[in-house]
């Protein structure tokens, strides 16, 4: 009886009743089951494709695409499907990046406006947020496209701004800066200005540290840089840039810089919609900073601006960043709604490719992987930023 | 323990649900349609004359009538058909995945589609060609003059590819805007977003009626491609493709011999081929896996080719052109019913 200690008892338990073994065993069985299920689905897919006389491969990407894409980097119908796909990716990135910047600005503006003590500003911000947040994005994009942008005058009746910019239902045409030979000289001025600015920035920073006072570190550097750049512009023989004006030639305006109606409608739709969500994120972040912090800031004599910059925002930003990341990801993914209005982004190009080649599964997979890479990169960048600001706070 | 048991049971259930999918794929769509008692037909919903919902909420059109003819031939009732509206880029995936039994949506027969897209084509029911529509006041008569123009086109169509080919051959540059919805394309054209719209001529004729001022627009007297439009079935199901093909031939045959919707049930003849066609002798129906009177049912439902054409396309102002029986110098030629 004396050798009947707990350890010897556990030795006697058969393995099929040992919880530690069973725990591992069931996980292995479950994993095996999942793999089996995936294998069956894959086999099923292959069998289905064989029945249709289709094969799975990516060779078609090297073939001539044959269809045209209305905007993006230079591309010809004689280029490959791979190039066409790349044009789609870049168009998605373009609208996503510009959209994220615009949505963030709108969100910040309206988020802060919602907390304003002015009744009118507060109400306007609330109306904006509630209207744009609660209507489906697809409807909003179609609204901007068919009810706003398409209702602009026709090409020949374009709205002209200072005879240089034109607005019509085929887009917004702006003069584009064209570099001249003088650009090189001006770049030297810019370089000199930048060095000067860095020196002044460091000097000012050291001085503030010595005085142990909060202040605007770029207070000297920024004006110095602007003055050098400005003087350089006029000292440069000729001008560093000339303006390329859009001109009505035949059917359309040529030259200059232009936004297509599809791009404009999509950008406005995405920015306004996501901006409304970001406004709420910003508002909740600011409101999450306890009232006592603000009162304490006032008590030590900080001005309103200083209070916001030095006390409230450093505590609000870490709260804002994680939900903001989700909004950025949503914006990028929502850009796929552009198929409804014919902006050639990733899904639009992908669906044309699918239709012309019949390679639905590889193209779908490529589109999914592209979105995954874009989203994971955005998340990683935002997480890095989040860690950095949180580290500074500790 | 109970939790694990549940997970294992769920897994086994999932596997057993998936496995039949593999075994089932050998059955012909013909048997499936008969079993279901209903034909599922993919059509266009935005093309008056070919496929659209009329004011009474009824499906109407040339392609729709062919769907009814197949339902009548297979199931003996032209109303046992469900129409699924499809956008151009969705039609082949819908066919490949078996969501629809037959695709009758002004679809052009091409080599790539026949091979790479997992599609099998039945004989063309409408021989079309690609054309251009633009505003009359532009005063344009040739394609060369279109350099620099903005051209609207539908996504996932042969027209999209033909446009790129043609402009390259002519050495002109156009800006093409690709829309997924036919509706958005013509709306944008009407609003002046594009100068020109290019598509099958039949579509241009059909959609011109719904523009704000149809008389302001002309269709150029230029055809840049051949567009044989016809029903499509999934690749590899020969039995089903035979049925669809022979329903099409039946409408050609009926017109060749003056058999109409009105007289098909009372048609008196001593011609042995017509007798076989009407199911009065022989067993051509059984060879196709259909009833004896399949062709009679199809013609009684929608009439012969000429009647289908006149009911749907003549009101749009579309001439018969080459879409006439071969006996009148057209391209419609029924294979012998023997």
The residues, any chain, with a CB within 8 Å of residue A66's CB and separated by 6 or more, are: A77, A78, A356, B161, B164, B165
- Last residue within a domain, chosen from B225, B243, B267: B225
Give the mutation candidate from B21, B93, B168, B180 for the A interface (greatest A CB count, under 10 A). B180
Are the Cβ atoms of A66 and B116 closer than 8 angstroms? no
Q: How far apart are CA A143 and CA A265, in angstroms?
A: 8
Asked if residue B261 and residue B175 are part of one domain, the reply reads: no
Asked if pLDDT for residue B303 goes beyond 80, the answer is: yes
Tell whether B156 is covered by a domain: yes
Asked if residue B196 and residue B112 are part of one domain, the reply reads: no
Q: Could you give the angle at the alpha carbon of B25 between the alpha carbons of B21 and B29, nearest 5°?
A: 125
Per the DSSP assignment, residues forming a β-bridge with B179 are: B154
Overall average pLDDT of the B157-164 stretch:
88
Residue B23 sits at the chain A interface (C-beta within 8 Å): no
Contacts of A341 in chain B (CB under 8 A): 179, 184
Residue-by-residue DSSP string for A234-265: HHSSS-SEEEE--EEETTEEESSEEE-HHHHH
Partner residue facing B21 (CB), from A44, A154, A339: A44
Asked if pLDDT for residue B22 goes beyond 50, the answer is: no
Asked if residue B181 and residue B109 are part of one domain, the reply reads: no
| DSSP H/E element including A160 | strand A159-161
Q: What is the pLDDT of residues A65-111, one digit of tens each?
A: 888 888 888 888 889 999 999 999 999 999 999 999 999 999 999 99
Q: How far apart are CA B272 and CA A9, in angstroms?
A: 94
Asked if residue B140 and residue B112 are part of one domain, the reply reads: no
Q: How many other CB atoms sit within 10 Å of the CB of residue A36?
A: 13
* Nearest partner of B248 among B88, B157, B127, B85, judged by Cα: B127
* Nearest partner of B65 among B289, B264, B309, B255, judged by Cα: B309
The secondary structure of residue B171, as a DSSP letter, is T
| DSSP H/E element including A172 | strand A171-174
Q: How far apart are CA B164 and CA B168, in angstroms?
A: 6
CATH number at residue B156: 3.40.190.10
Two structure tokens written together for A123: 């109400």
Compare B264 and A178 and report the one with higher pLDDT. Answer: B264
Q: Is residue A217 within 8 Å of residue A201, measured between CB atoms?
A: yes
B4 pLDDT band (50/70/90 cuts)?
Answer: low
- C-alpha dihedral sign at B170, B176, B182, B184: negative
Q: Looking at chain A, which residue has its C-alpha nearest residue B28?
A: A51
Q: Rounded to whole angstroms, what are the CA distances from B19 to A41, A242, A279, B22, B200?
A: 9, 69, 50, 6, 44
Which residues in chain B (160-179) have CB-CB distances under 8 A to chain A? 160-161, 163-165, 168, 175-179
Q: Looking at chain A, which residue has its C-alpha nearest residue B233?
A: A52
* Nearest partner of B46 among B158, B194, B154, judged by Cα: B154
Q: How far apart are CA B115 and CA A59, in angstroms?
A: 15
The whole-number pLDDT of residue A352 equals 87
Tell whether B313 is covered by a domain: yes
Reduced to 3 states (helix: H, G, I; strand: E, B; else coil), residue A228 is helix
Q: How far apart are CA B180 and CA A335, in angstroms?
A: 15
The whole-number pLDDT of residue A169 equals 81
Asked if residue B236 and residue B207 are part of one domain, the reply reads: no
Contacts of A150 in chain B (CB under 8 A): 187-188, 191, 193
Q: How far apart are CA A232 and CA A245, in angstroms?
A: 24
Compare A204 and B251 and report the one with higher pLDDT. Answer: B251
Reported in sequence order, the residue ranges of B22-149 that DSSP labels E, i.e. its strands, are 39-43, 46-47, 51-53, 59-60, 81-85, 102-103, 119-121, 126-128, 130-135
Are the Cβ atoms of B193 and A150 closer than 8 angstroms? yes
Tell whether B335 is covered by a domain: no
The residues, any chain, with a CB within 8 Å of residue A262's CB and separated by 6 or more, are: A70, A71, A145, A338, A341, A342, A343, B177
Asked if residue B281 and residue B214 are part of one domain, the reply reads: no
Q: What is the pLDDT of residues B68-87, one digit of tens each?
A: 999 999 999 999 999 999 98
Q: What is the dihedral of CA B188, B190, B193, B199, to 10 degrees?
A: 70
Reported in sequence order, the residue ranges of B86-205 that DSSP labels E, i.e. its strands, are 102-103, 119-121, 126-128, 130-135, 150-154, 175-179, 196-200
Are the Cβ atoms of A170 and B4 closer than 8 angstroms? no
Q: What is the pLDDT of residues A275-310, one digit of tens each?
A: 999 999 999 999 998 889 989 998 998 888 888 888
The model's pTM is: 0.79
Q: Rounded to whole angstroms, what are the CA distances from A85 to A65, A72, A178, B315?
A: 10, 11, 29, 43
Two structure tokens written together for A57: 């491969």
Q: Are strands B119-121 and B39-43 parallel, antiparallel or unpaired?
A: unpaired
- Last residue within a domain, chosen from B193, B225, B257: B225
- Separation in Å, CA of B184 to nearest CA in chain A: 7
Asked if residue B183 and residue B120 are part of one domain, the reply reads: no
Q: Is residue B181 within 8 Å of residue A337, measured between CB atoms?
A: no
The whole-number pLDDT of residue A6 equals 52
The secondary structure of residue B334, as a DSSP letter, is P
Tell whether B109 is covered by a domain: yes
Residue B150 sits at the chain A interface (C-beta within 8 Å): yes
B103: left (phi over 0), alpha (psi -120 to 50) or beta: beta
Q: What is the pLDDT of residues A96-149, one digit of tens each?
A: 999 999 999 999 999 989 988 899 999 999 999 999 999 999 999 999 998 888
10 Å CB burial of residue B338 (0-12, 13-18, 19+) is: exposed
Rounded to 10 deg, the angle between the A119-133 and A81-113 helix axes is 150
Compare B88 and A180 and report the one with higher pLDDT. Answer: B88
Average pLDDT, chain B: 88
Overall average pLDDT of the B127-154 stretch:
90
Q: How far apart are CA A347 and CA A341, in angstroms?
A: 12
Asked if residue B259 and residue B113 are part of one domain, the reply reads: yes
- Separation in Å, CA of B83 to nearest CA in chain A: 21
Asked if residue B185 and residue B36 are part of one domain, the reply reads: no
* Nearest partner of B73 among B291, B287, B313, B249, judged by Cα: B291
Are the Cβ atoms of A54 and B118 closer than 8 angstroms? yes
Give the mutation candidate from B193, B236, B237, B240 for the A interface (greatest A CB count, under 10 A). B193
Tell whether B11 is covered by a domain: no
Compare B283 and A15 and report the one with higher pLDDT. Answer: B283
Asked if residue B196 and residue B233 are part of one domain, the reply reads: no
Asked if residue B142 and residue B123 are part of one domain, the reply reads: no
Compare B188 and A52 and report the one with higher pLDDT. Answer: B188
Locate the domains of chain A by residue range.
Answer: 6-51, 100-175+245-346
Q: How far apart are CA A289 and CA A314, in angstroms?
A: 10
A241-255, B79-93, B139-153, B154-168: least confident range: A241-255
As a whole-number percent, the residues of chain B with pLDDT over 90 amount to 59
Two structure tokens written together for B108: 């052009």
Asked if pLDDT for residue A170 goes beyond 60, the answer is: yes
Asked if residue B235 and residue B172 are part of one domain, the reply reads: no
The secondary structure of residue B124, as a DSSP letter, is P
Q: Is residue A178 within 8 Å of residue A241, measured between CB atoms?
A: yes
- Separation in Å, CA of B198 to nearest CA in chain A: 14
Which domain range does residue B144 map to?
A: 131-225
Are the Cβ atoms of A355 and B150 closer than 8 angstroms? no
| List of long-range contacts for A370-377, beta carbons under 8 Å, 24+ apart | A370/A89, A370/A92, A370/A346, A371/A332, A371/A333, A371/A346, A374/A92, A374/A93, A374/A96, A374/A332, A375/A329, A375/A332, A375/A333
The whole-number pLDDT of residue B1 equals 46
Partner residue facing A360 (CB), from B14, B93, B191: B93
Are the Cβ atoms of A67 and B112 closer than 8 angstroms? no
Which residues in chain B (90-109) have CB-CB distances under 8 A to chain A? 92-93, 96
Q: Looking at chain A, which residue has its C-alpha nearest residue B11?
A: A33
A102: left (phi over 0), alpha (psi -120 to 50) or beta: alpha
Mention the CATH class of domain A100-175+245-346: mainly alpha
Instruction: Give the ipTM of the model, two decimals please.
Output: 0.76
Are the Cβ atoms of A355 and B156 closer than 8 angstroms? yes
Number of domains in chain B: 2
Contacts of A51 in chain B (CB under 8 A): 25, 235-236
As a whole-number percent, the residues of chain A with pLDDT over 70 amount to 95
Asked if pLDDT for residue B299 goes beyond 90, the answer is: yes
């Amino acid at each position: 009886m004396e050798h009947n200690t707990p350890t010897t008892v556990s030795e006697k338990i058969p393995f099929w009743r040992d919880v530690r073994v069973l725990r591992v065993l069931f996980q292995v069985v479950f994993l095996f089951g999942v793999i089996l299920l995936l294998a069956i689905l894959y086999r099923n897919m292959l069998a289905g494709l064989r029945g249709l006389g289709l094969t799975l491969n990516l060779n078609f990407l090297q073939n001539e695409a044959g269809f045209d894409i209305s905007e993006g980097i230079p591309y010809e119908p004689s280029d490959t499907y791979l190039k066409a796909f790349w044009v789609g990716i870049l168009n998605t990135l373009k609208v996503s990046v510009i959209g994220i910047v615009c949505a963030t600005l709108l969100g910040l503006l309206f988020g802060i406006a919602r907390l304003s003590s002015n009744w009118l500003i507060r109400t306007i911000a609330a109306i904006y947020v509630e209207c744009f947040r609660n209507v489906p994005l697809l409807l909003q994009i179609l609204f901007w496209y068919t009810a706003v942008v398409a209702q602009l005058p026709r090409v020949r009746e374009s709205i002209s701004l200072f005879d240089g910019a034109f607005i019509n239902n085929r887009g917004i045409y702006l003069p584009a800066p064209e570099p001249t030979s003088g650009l090189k000289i001006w770049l030297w001025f810019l370089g000199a200005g930048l060095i000067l600015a860095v020196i002044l920035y460091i000097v000012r920073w050291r001085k503030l540290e010595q005085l142990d006072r909060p202040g605007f570190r770029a207070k000297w550097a920024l004006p110095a840089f602007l003055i050098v750049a400005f003087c350089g512009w006029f000292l440069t023989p000729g001008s560093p840039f000339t303006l390329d004006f859009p001109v009505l030639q035949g059917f359309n305006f040529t030259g200059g810089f232009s936004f297509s109606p599809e791009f404009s409608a999509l950008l406005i739709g995405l920015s306004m919609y996501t901006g409304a969500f970001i406004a709420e994120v910003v508002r909740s972040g600011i409101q999450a900073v306890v009232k006592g912090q603000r009162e304490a800031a006032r008590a030590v004599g900080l001005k309103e601006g200083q209070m916001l910059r030095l006390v409230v925002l450093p505590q609000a930003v870490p709260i804002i960043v994680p939900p903001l990341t989700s909004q950025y990801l949503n914006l990028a993914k929502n850009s796929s709604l552009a198929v409804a209005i014919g902006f050639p982004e990733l899904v639009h190009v992908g669906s044309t490719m699918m239709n012309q080649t019949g390679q639905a599964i590889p193209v779908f997979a490529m589109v999914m992987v592209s979105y995954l890479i874009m989203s994971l990169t955005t998340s990683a960048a935002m997480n890095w930023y989040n860690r950095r600001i949180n580290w500074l706070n500790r | 323990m109970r939790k694990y048991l549940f997970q294992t049971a769920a897994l086994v259930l999932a596997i057993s649900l998936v496995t039949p999918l593999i075994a089932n794929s050998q059955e012909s769509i013909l048997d499936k349609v008969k079993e279901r008692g209903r034909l599922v037909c993919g059509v266009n919903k935005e093309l008056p004359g070919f496929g659209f919902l009329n004011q009474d909420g009824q499906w109407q059109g040339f392609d729709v009538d062919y769907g009814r003819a197949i339902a009548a031939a297979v199931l003996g009732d032209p109303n046992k058909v469900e129409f699924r509206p499809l956008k151009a880029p969705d039609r082949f995936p819908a066919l490949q995945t078996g969501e629809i039994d037959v695709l009758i949506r002004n679809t052009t027969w091409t080599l790539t589609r026949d091979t790479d897209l997992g599609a099998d084509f039945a004989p063309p029911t409408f021989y079309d060609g690609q054309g251009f529509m633009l505003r009359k006041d532009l005063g344009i008569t040739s394609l060369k003059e279109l350099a620099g123009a903005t051209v609207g086109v539908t996504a996932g169509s042969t027209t999209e590819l033909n446009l790129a080919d043609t402009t390259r051959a002519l050495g002109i540059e156009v800006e093409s805007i690709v829309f997924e919805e036919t509706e958005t394309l013509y709306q944008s054209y009407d609003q002046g977003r594009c100068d020109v719209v290019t598509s099958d001529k039949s579509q241009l004729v059909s959609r011109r009626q719904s523009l704000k001022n149809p008389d302001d627009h002309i269709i150029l007297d230029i055809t840049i491609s051949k567009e044989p439009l016809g029903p499509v079935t999934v690749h590899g199901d020969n039995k089903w493709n035979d049925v669809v093909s022979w329903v099409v031939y039946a409408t050609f045959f009926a017109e060749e011999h003056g058999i109409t919707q009105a007289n098909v049930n009372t048609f008196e003849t001593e011609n042995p081929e017509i007798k076989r066609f009407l199911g009065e002798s022989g067993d051509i129906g059984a060879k196709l896996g259909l009833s004896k009177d399949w062709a009679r049912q199809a013609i009684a439902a929608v009439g012969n080719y000429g009647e289908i054409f006149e009911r749907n396309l003549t009101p749009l102002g579309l001439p018969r052109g080459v879409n006439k029986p071969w006996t009148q110098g057209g391209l419609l030629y029924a294979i012998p019913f023997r």
